[in-house]
Amino acid sequence: MTARGYLLYAGMALLIVLTGLVQGWNLALTILNMGLISAIMSLGVNLQWGFAGLFNVGVMGFVALGGLAAVLVSMPPVAEGWNAGGLRLLGALALGAAILIAAVQVWKRKIGGRMRTLVMLALLVGGFFLFRAALDPAVQAIEAINPSLSGYLGGLGLPILIAWPVGGLLAAGAAWIIGKAALGLRSDYLAIATLGIAEIVIAVLKNEDWLSRGVKNVIGLPRPVPYEVELQRDPGFAERAASFGLDPVTASTLWVKILYSGLFAVVLIVILLLAQRALASPWGRMMRAIRDNEVAANAMGKNVTARHLQVFILGSAVCGIAGAMMTTLDGQLTPGTYQPLRFTFLVWVMVIVGGSGNNYGAVLGGFLIWWLWVMVEPLGLWAMELITSGMSPDSWLRAHLTDSAAQMRLMTMGIILLAVLRFSPRGLMPER
């Protein structure tokens, strides 16, 4: 890192400390925790965009898959659900996968063109009805069991920390499928394809109640850190809190957040170190060579499509890990809250503002933009109150302006992105 980099990081730390002093440490730690997660997402996108020039606008989908992993790994299994149709459902899913694989195999055979297309179509259409016939009764049976409380299969009942790598794996799997289809085609196509896969992931999460209860949400995920109530009951903890001059309730909320920060910071540092090593390694140099001149890299015997697929999967996996961490922090999976502007395009603002191609920049962007995202709302409201202070209290315009202040966020993010692109296109911490 350069001197400028240290200065920027110090400034960022100062912003968070100031927030703590002015608005309370609880808020500062909340911002810090989401900032850590945002920084990881930003690192994932930087792997794809900064290293390889891949334009992925499906970050939301990979993040949501990570969240799904948190549910599937950590929630206790629902025995009645499994008895009602768990195995049948797994069988149906296996059947669906088998049909798809068979169709791909038929397509790969080098037999007469029209015959091959017909066989594949017949396989897909017939297979679809077969799949639905196998799946639907199982789904109905599972969703009928106690729908207001469970109505799904539950998870594996394992510690939620295991969900973090699993979230990465799920996202990597999705990335492999999408990369196989859309990489190697035109640049814009990957963007549209990822935009689509993200919407589909959210649609599946919202509708497949047997999987994660859909819009009924899964709440009360197990936590990797102690609960506040347990801490408050612990006399030793109350004593230590008192020695800092804090009452046990405040101390317990702060301590839980600090524990989360510690866990997230470890993950961030590990991923950052790995990404730094990758960037400096021959593999990283090859990636940048491909990014800067695909034709030349191809002529040098580099397999451009395979390398793109590799880095696309890696970056998406990092986003998946961040998604699992975020769901862990929230303690619930709420598919309705996944919005592309918040989870895809905001991460892009983080990468561009921080400095694409520079891992430290991406991390800084994650913290800074998240801090702004939280702060713009109170600042906007304050600005609006200042602007409207001269108007009469019951004026129509005044009410509209103060009500709409919450919408200032998106506009501010857009203006920041446009300003950085125009005046400092390489970001706050440029790549070399």
Partner 1 sequence: MTDFLNAIVALSNFVLIPGAAYGAQLALGALGVTLIYGILRFSNFAHGDTMAFGTMATILVTWGLQSMGISFGPLPTALIALPVGIAITGLLLLGTDRAIYRFYRKQKAAPVVLVIVSIGVMFVMNGLVRFIIGVGDVNFADGARFVINARQFKEMTGLDEGLAIRSTTLITLVTAAVAVALLFWFLNKTRTGKSMRAFSDNEDLALLSGINPERVVAVTWLIVAALATTAGVLYGLDKSFKAFTYFQLLLPIFAAAIVGGLGNPLGAIAGGFVIAFSEVLITYAWKKVLEYLLPENLEPSSLVQLLSTDYKFAVSFAILIIVLLFKPTGLFKGQSV
User: Where along the sequence are the contacts to partner 1 (CB under 8 A)?
Assistant: 53, 55, 57, 128, 132, 136, 181-182, 185-189, 191-193, 195-197, 199-200, 203, 206-207, 340-341, 345, 348-349, 352, 403-404, 407-415, 417-418, 421-422, 425
Shortest distance in whole angstroms from residue 206 CB to partner 1 = 6
Shortest distance in whole angstroms from residue 1 CB to partner 1 = 25
Q: d(Cα 30, Cα 223) in Å, to the nearest integer?
A: 16
Note whether 62 and 323 are within 8 A (CB): yes
Residues 6+ apart with CB under 8 A from 201: 60, 61, 62, 64, 65, 174
Shortest distance in whole angstroms from residue 352 CB to partner 1 = 7
Nearer to partner 1, 27 or 375 (CB): 375
Nearer to partner 1, 72 or 376 (CB): 376
Nearer to partner 1, 88 or 342 (CB): 342
Nearer to partner 1, 229 or 387 (CB): 387
Shortest distance in whole angstroms from residue 280 CB to partner 1 = 25
Shortest distance in whole angstroms from residue 328 CB to partner 1 = 27
- Give ∠ CA 257-261-322 in degrees, rounded to 5: 115
φ, ψ at 175 (rounded to 5°): -65, -35
Nearer to partner 1, 63 or 267 (CB): 63
Q: d(Cα 404, Cα 44) in Å, to the nearest integer?
A: 33
Q: What is the DSSP letter of 108?
A: H
Q: d(Cα 388, Cα 391) in Å, to the nearest integer?
A: 5
Q: d(Cα 387, Cα 371) in Å, to the nearest integer?
A: 24
Nearer to partner 1, 145 or 201 (CB): 201
Shortest distance in whole angstroms from residue 82 CB to partner 1 = 24
- Distances 396 to 303, 382, 401 between C-alpha atoms, Å: 62, 18, 9
Q: How many beta carbons lie within 10 A of that of residue 346, not counting itself?
A: 24
- Distances 154 to 37, 46, 73, 74, 163 between C-alpha atoms, Å: 25, 34, 9, 9, 14
Nearer to partner 1, 5 or 340 (CB): 340
Residues 6+ apart with CB under 8 A from 40: 264, 267, 268, 271, 318, 319, 321, 322, 325, 366
Shortest distance in whole angstroms from residue 417 CB to partner 1 = 4
Shortest distance in whole angstroms from residue 327 CB to partner 1 = 21
What string of DSSP letters covers 4-44?
Answer: HHHHHHHHHHHHHHHHHHHH-HHHHHHHHHHHHHHHHHHHH
Q: d(Cα 350, Cα 356) in Å, to the nearest integer?
A: 9
Nearer to partner 1, 79 or 200 (CB): 200
Nearer to partner 1, 327 or 344 (CB): 344
Shortest distance in whole angstroms from residue 105 CB to partner 1 = 15
